Structure 1
Amino acid sequence: MLKTFWKYALIILIVSLFPVVINLALYQKIFFGKGNDWLSFWGNYSGGLISAIVAYIVANSQIQKQQKLDLVKEKYARTINQLPALLRIKIELEKYIKELHNVKNEREGFIQRNGGIRKKAEEYDSPEEFFVAKVEGVPEYEINEKHYEMELPQSNCFTYLEKVENIYLHIDLITCFNFYSDFSKAMNYNIVLADKKWAEQDESIKGLISNGQFAKLRVLTEQMGSTYHETTVYYDKKKSCWETFYEEDMLSKFNEVFNRLDDEITNVKQIKETGDVSLIDKVGS
């Protein structure tokens, strides 16, 4: 804005001083020829110059106005076109919140029914207290490895996020969707069944060794190692997901993002119904 001001100020100054310079030049006899002829020439020249400058200013102003208008139209179109995606995201997010509520209640109910979380050895004041203490509650590892049936996110759900215009809402939605994807996959993994599979593989290996069938031993050993590694990885994922769930209060974050998404949908609907482009600034604010 300041550069534009000084540009036009310089043009006006040049145009204002030009006749003065011409007048001084004519009367100081710097140029050859009659003064009236030169005055007529410079009058026509300066008149054309001024007309060109005015035309440039007007054209430049019109171009800038058109550019702003095109930007507003483009933003209006993007704002309206995101509505179907926003509605689809709302359905998904509502489902995620319900699933997280159910799993949270199931976990806490399991802990309550089993007398709470069992104290760890390091939580006792002394080794003596640990050895004489009554064993109560359920071990933390048993709580963390518990299997929960959760609905997994749809494979195409992330494509809807690409249409969200509000950058801050966009980022928070990606955070929520990523967390739910990792959380639901971890909770659906059944460690008890995996341990049972590992035990069966262990028995099979013992049987192969006792029968002298060493040809199949390598393959089965690799399968057993793979099962153990997979179980270890998923236990760590379950533990990490639950820690994030409680430490970052993810359920509250999901609800907060859901409310902002609902407000965004309301604003977009209002813009679509009224056609009022001045409301676009409300979207993404």
Structure 2
Amino acid sequence: MKKKIGNRRKIAFLIGVGVFLIPILLNLLVFSWRLDTELPLLSVFNTHGSIEGWLSFWGNLVGTIVSGCVAFLVAKITISEQSKKDEKLEADLLTIKQLPALIKVKIELDKILGELLRISGEKKEIIEEYRENRVVFTESDLIMSLDYSMDCQQ
């Protein structure tokens, strides 16, 4: 992840440097071939064109870069928000598709709960019956009697 961010920063830096160096290099390579000055080295620093022309050029360049960045950010935010909405919609649709199966599971769990409550009631009745008859019983006797009562009902 850090590599990707580092690469993106390097690319953005190189693009930014390139955008500002290309006009300067064009000025040097295209317009500076004429040696109007006495020293050829000083011709590198000559700027050809009017101040208004260069000001207009740089204003257009900076404006284009700013508007391009704004358009990129708006598109990125829009795509991100749409992606989040799509994920939520997909999750909701998945829940809706699973709803019939979940209802069946709930019905089965309700049946199991009813059986457990019935068995609990039978267990209490058997314990009360044993106590009334003063029968001594162990836990295994009680479990065996419940297993027998369940086998009889099936």
TM superposition score category, shorter chain reference = 0.5 to 0.7
Give the structure 2 partner of residue 142 of structure 1.
Answer: 141
Total equivalences in the alignment: 103
Alignment RMSD, CA only?
Answer: 2.4
Counting aligned pairs with the same residue, the percent is 35
3-state SS of paired residue (2:136): coil
AA partner of residue 87 (structure 1): I
Residue 53 of structure 2 is aligned to residue 41 of structure 1: no
For residues 168-179 of structure 1, the aligned pairs below 5 Å read none
Question: How far 1:39 moved relative to its partner?
Answer: 1.2
Q: How far apart in 2 are the matches of 1:141 and 1:72?
A: 53
For residues 123-162 of structure 1, the aligned pairs below 5 Å read 136-146=135-145, 147=147, 148-149=149-150
3-state SS of paired residue (1:82): helix
Q: How far apart in 1 are the matches of 2:58 and 2:88?
A: 45
Give the structure 2 partner of residue 207 of structure 1.
Answer: none
The one of 84, 105, 109 aligned to 1:68: 84
For residues 1-285 of structure 1, the aligned pairs below 5 Å read 32-33=46-47, 34-115=50-131, 136-146=135-145, 147=147, 148-149=149-150
Question: How far 1:57 moved relative to its partner?
Answer: 1.7
Judging by fraction of residues, say which structure has more helix: 2
Q: How far apart in 2 are the matches of 1:45 and 1:70?
A: 37
Contact 1:115-1:136 within 8 A present in 2 as well = yes
What are the ranges of 5 or more consecutive residues in structure 2 without an aligned counterpart?
1-44
**Greater C-alpha Rg:** 2
Q: How far apart in 1 are the matches of 2:115 and 2:150?
A: 9
3-state SS of paired residue (2:116): helix
> Could you list the runs of 4 or more consecutive aligned residues of structure 1 that deviate by over 6 angstroms after TM superposition?
none
Q: Per-residue displacement from partner, 1:13-55 (whole Å, max 9, x unpaired)?
A: xxxxxxxxxxxxxxxxxx6415333212211211210120121
Q: How far apart in 1 are the matches of 2:90 and 2:46?
A: 59
TM-score, normalising length from structure 2? 0.58
3-state SS of paired residue (2:57): helix
